[in-house]
Amino acid sequence: MDLGDLVESAKAGDRDAFDELVRATYADTYTLAYRLTGDEEDARDVTQDAYLRAYRALKRFRGDAQFSTWMYRITANCAATLVGKRSKARHDELTDDAAIADLRPEADPEAMADAELLRDRVNGALAELPPRLRAVVVLRDVYDLPHQAIAQELGITEAAAKVRLHRARRKLRERLFPLRGEESAHAV
């Protein structure tokens, strides 16, 4: 049974079909979660949360993209949520022998604020892309899939994947780095 048939069966309420979908996509989902979180424990949590969300939302899956692409999107959202929660809740215990100044770049409040601002701008620009362009950018630039794999994943030709990637990157560049006179049109 291919993924499309499994999705349809799972949408109809077949729990075994959903279990088979999980088995078929688990390695890729976990790998993405691990790449996004950098931690095995967090990756397992993200993967579990992603499949739970997918199970709950399966009836709303329209099939505009491949099931695995949909899972990539859910996994990336779950990872972003977890990383955001962890960074807000993280604290280091101070000891008497702790250094006065922490010179690590990630401890520089200005650099962290700049990185957060850039991340927000990139996420905002990604959110404004049409889904078919966003999917190609995420699969190529976040998940590092080759053009051929992206084309296969999205059910398009390799040339179409390259064109979509070019258009998506151009739109992101225009949004993130507008030319003089365009700033007001793309104000954040």
Flag whether 9 is in a domain.
yes
pLDDT at 182: 57
Helix then strand count (H, E) for the chain reads 8, 0
Flag whether 91 is in a domain.
no
151-183 pLDDT, tens digit per residue, is 887 889 999 999 999 999 999 999 888 876 655
Contacts of 188 by beta carbon, 8 Å cutoff, 6+ apart: 120, 121, 124
Range of the domain at 118: 108-188
- The answer on 68 and 27 residing in a single domain is yes
User: Which CATH number goes with the domain that contains 33?
Assistant: 1.10.1740.10
Flag whether 95 is in a domain.
no
- The answer on 81 and 3 residing in a single domain is yes
Below-70 pLDDT ranges, the chain: 1, 87-108, 180-188
- The answer on 133 and 79 residing in a single domain is no
pLDDT at 184: 52
Contacts of 186 by beta carbon, 8 Å cutoff, 6+ apart: 174, 175, 178
Which one of 27, 53, 85 terminates a domain? Answer: 85
Residue 8 identity (one-letter amino acid): E
- The answer on 80 and 121 residing in a single domain is no
Q: Where are the beta strands (DSSP E) in 15-119?
A: none
21-42 pLDDT, tens digit per residue, is 999 999 999 999 998 888 899 9
Distance CA 103, CA 30 (A): 33
- The answer on 75 and 118 residing in a single domain is no
pLDDT at 188: 44
Flag whether 97 is in a domain.
no
